[in-house]
Amino acid sequence: MIKNDLWITGMASQGMIAPFEPRLVRRVESLPVISFGLSSFGYDIRLSPSDFRIFRHIPGTVVDPKNFNAENLEASKLHQDENGQFFILPAHSYGLGVALERLEIPDHITVLCIGKSSYARIGLIANLTPAEAGWRGHLTLEFSNSSSADCRIYANEGVVQLLFLEGEPCSISYHTREGKYQDQPEAVTLVRV
């Protein structure tokens, strides 16, 4: 069953989402923002300004999840203008960011991250990412710019929506099996095998 705003609020008060915004925010200091915070059946998390990396082409290299070369990623500069702080994801490229909010997922819940329509309509695809039962930390978020134009991704604003799905408690949670991505910091976490 998908969990609603009342349940999310109650669990946030127990530390499931921090910082927690109890309403859907569309303006900050009279400036329009891409919405973040609590919605009817989900929670829109924000992109942290602390870290965003873009895959770059290095001739002769192959991106390999079993032997990842961190040199294939380059840090993206945080820009700012009257619309806010943002990173630029070049056309037809792929980038990694990190959630501003820290999550602590209960043992009977799995979370799905899905893209927001504001970004989908400009060609930005957020990879569907799970946060398993018992997982905690700052999510590393994956984005693909499928458009032929460079794309702004705004920091401190909504970037993906979390959907909380309840099931029977599992026998082995992400925490109890000591998952390799447990307790991710507010920084992009690279692939681990």
> What is the per-residue DSSP string for 2-58?
B--HHHHHHHHTTTSEES--SSEEEEETTEEEEEEEEETTEEEEEEEEEEEEEE---
101 is catalytic: no
Alpha helices (H) in the chain, listed in sequence order: 5-12, 117-120
Contacts of 122 (CB under 8 A, 6+ apart): 147, 151
Report which of 126, 115, 121 is spatially closest to residue 149, judged by C-alpha positions. 121
**CA-CA-CA-CA torsion sign (120, 124, 125, 127):** negative
Which helix or strand (DSSP H or E) is residue 191 part of?
none
**Which residue out of 74, 82, 101, 142 is catalytically annotated?**
142
Active-site positions?
Answer: 142
